[in-house]
């Protein structure tokens, strides 16, 4: 059976992998999903002998079936090179009885680099394969990390432009400075007066606007996405779960075939969905533990079967998880609905109209792989402090949400399965929150004084991404209201 991509909201539309990457979002507003999850065709033992790049090829060739071996290896080798500050790409650090999968060794020190380093190459290769002559406009909303990683990936890539919208008052000072100092003639960064969900809804509305698409086409442009709604973002994320399992086997931490748990700090649901895909490809996993912060819409969903975004939006110290509409959950809901696009479309319509939907008991029973948990602000700070004091290891706020949830899960369940915690950002990206959690006395210091102090106490070098923005000039200072987003895009494109 040939692997093709279908929309989660329609039976009719099927596209190749390269077409799905180019389009980003299906024309009916649905997300592209593979018509099946392929099985790994190499053994767990063979994976232990492979590099990150080799494992990436073994995983991605199964999903991106219209790419040639040469095309795919070109994309992989261009992406996973010296822009990562460690040859392992995603090293594992053991601390306090868990394995922290460090996904922040790329050029913008967050896990988004793992996929956004390769997406520009997948996208430009897809454009060539499909004889696209329009300039591709990457349109993205960010809760903090995707924006910078996408900007860095697409800066000055021929045939592309990139526009990033972020919540002006909803990201960390370091995250904002990383974005607004971004160089590149094809980059544009806009703060919005609103939260991430507002930014994401505005971007989705532009993707679904047929009149805008016609205007863009006449002007020689077409939209694509760098958000995790793009299958070209999701597939590369599967790789690091396969890789991390193989490393635990290689280092004799587990035996091949032994099940592990995975804990993921979760916002838009793409990262944990990638773990779910890895499990369904044949990686032995037991529980997928979905960790939320105070915006615990996913925790409530796994507990009750009701998804309800009608609640207060809380700004936290883990801003990349400050999300009430977790877009990628739609891919999971479609799967537990028996890949019934009509059922899924009705649920998503209810979410748009009323802000809530309910799944059936039969669908809920198919969520047995998942465990939901949440960690509030006080517990997150406590987790950072305790782990540092006990081990000397410093983690960021998002990773601390996951670690806090894991500690609660382990205590409640008595489950001693070996566990990987996805460490999604460098502590240097959220220095103030991290350092004040360790000692409130740090509150009087400036952001960059805290950077140097963190380097000292954690015994780690300041990442180049931070050094680059110390004295960097602000190049993007546009701010707009949510209802001005479309005009802002058109003005920048000269339409």
Direct distance between the N- and C-terminal alpha carbons of the chain, in angstroms, rounded to an integer: 44
197/142 Cα distance (integer angstroms): 9
* Rg of the chain (C-alpha set): 21
Closest CA to 113 of 141, 136, 81, 137: 81
Q: Which of 23, 112, 148, 279 is catalytic?
A: 112
Spatial CB neighbours of 68, under 8 Å, sequence gap ≥ 6:
none
- Given a contact cutoff of 8 angstroms between Cβ atoms, the answer to whether 394 and 455 are in contact is no
- Tokens in use for 233? 């973002």
481/479 Cα distance (integer angstroms): 7
SS3 label, residue 142? coil
Sheet of strand 419-423, all strands in order from the earlier edge strand to the far edge: 92-95, 98-102, 419-423, 260-265, 285-292, 370-374
- Given a contact cutoff of 8 angstroms between Cβ atoms, the answer to whether 111 and 104 are in contact is yes
- Tokens in use for 263? 């804990």
Angle at CA of residue 470, ends 469 and 476, nearest 5°: 45
- Given a contact cutoff of 8 angstroms between Cβ atoms, the answer to whether 163 and 203 are in contact is no
- Tokens in use for 156? 């000055």
Closest CA to 369 of 278, 286, 268, 258: 286
Angle at CA of residue 286, ends 335 and 39, nearest 5°: 55
Burial class (CB in 10 A: 0-12, 13-18, 19+), 270: buried
Closest CA to 361 of 336, 344, 383, 379: 336
Decide if 6 is catalytic: no
Residues annotated as part of the active site = 112
């Amino acid at each position: 059976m040939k692997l093709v991509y279908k929309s989660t909201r329609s039976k009719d539309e099927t596209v190749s992998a390269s077409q799905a990457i180019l389009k980003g979002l299906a024309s009916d507003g649905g997300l592209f999903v593979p018509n099946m999850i392929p099985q790994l065709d190499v053994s767990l033992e063979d994976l232990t002998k492979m590099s990150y790049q080799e494992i990436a090829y073994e995983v991605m060739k199964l999903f991106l079936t219209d790419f040639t071996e040469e095309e795919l290896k070109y994309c992989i080798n261009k992406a996973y090179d010296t822009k990562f500050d460690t040859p392992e790409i995603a090293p594992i650090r053991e601390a306090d009885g868990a394995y922290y999968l460090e996904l922040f060794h790329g050029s913008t020190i967050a896990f988004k680099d793992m996929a956004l380093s390769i997406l520009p190459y997948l996208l430009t290769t897809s454009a060539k394969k499909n004889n696209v002559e329009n300039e591709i406009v990457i349109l993205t909303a960010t809760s903090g990390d995707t924006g910078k990683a996408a900007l860095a990936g697409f800066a000055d890539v021929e045939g592309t432009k990139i526009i990033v919208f972020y919540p002006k008052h909803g990201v960390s000072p370091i995250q904002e400075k990383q974005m607004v100092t971004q160089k590149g003639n094809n980059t544009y960064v806009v703060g919005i007066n609103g939260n991430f969900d507002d930014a994401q809804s505005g971007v989705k509305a532009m993707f679904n606007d047929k009149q805008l698409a016609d205007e863009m086409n006449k002007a020689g442009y077409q939209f694509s996405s760098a958000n995790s709604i793009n299958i070209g973002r999701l597939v590369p994320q599967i790789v690091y779960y396969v890789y991390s399992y193989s490393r635990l086997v290689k280092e004799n931490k587990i035996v091949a075939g032994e099940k592990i748990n995975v804990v993921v700090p979760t916002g838009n649901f793409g990262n944990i969905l990638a773990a779910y895909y890895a499990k369904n490809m044949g990686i032995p996993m037991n529980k997928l533990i979905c960790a939320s912060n105070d915006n615990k819409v996913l925790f409530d969903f796994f507990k009750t079967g009701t998804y309800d975004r009608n609640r207060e939006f809380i700004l936290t110290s883990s801003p990349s998880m400050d999300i009430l509409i977790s877009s990628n959950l739609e891919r999971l809901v479609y799967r537990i609905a028996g890949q019934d696009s009509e059922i899924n479309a009705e649920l998503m319509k209810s979410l748009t109209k009323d802000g809530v939907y309910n799944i059936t008991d039969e669908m809920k029973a198919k969520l047995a792989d998942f465990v939901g948990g949440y960690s509030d602000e006080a517990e997150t700070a406590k987790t950072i402090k305790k782990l540092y004091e006990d081990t000397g290891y410093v983690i960021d706020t998002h990773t601390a949400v996951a670690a806090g949830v894991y500690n609660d899960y382990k205590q409640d369940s008595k489950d001693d399965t070996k566990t990987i915690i996805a460490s999604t950002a460098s502590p240097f990206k959220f220095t103030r929150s991290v350092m004040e959690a360790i000692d409130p006395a740090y509150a009087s210091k400036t952001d960059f004084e805290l950077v140097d102090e963190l380097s000292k106490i954690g015994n780690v070098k300041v990442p180049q991404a931070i050094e680059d923005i110390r004295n960097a000039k602000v190049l993007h200072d546009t701010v707009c209201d949510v209802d001005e987003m479309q005009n802002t895009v058109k003005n920048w494109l000269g339409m």
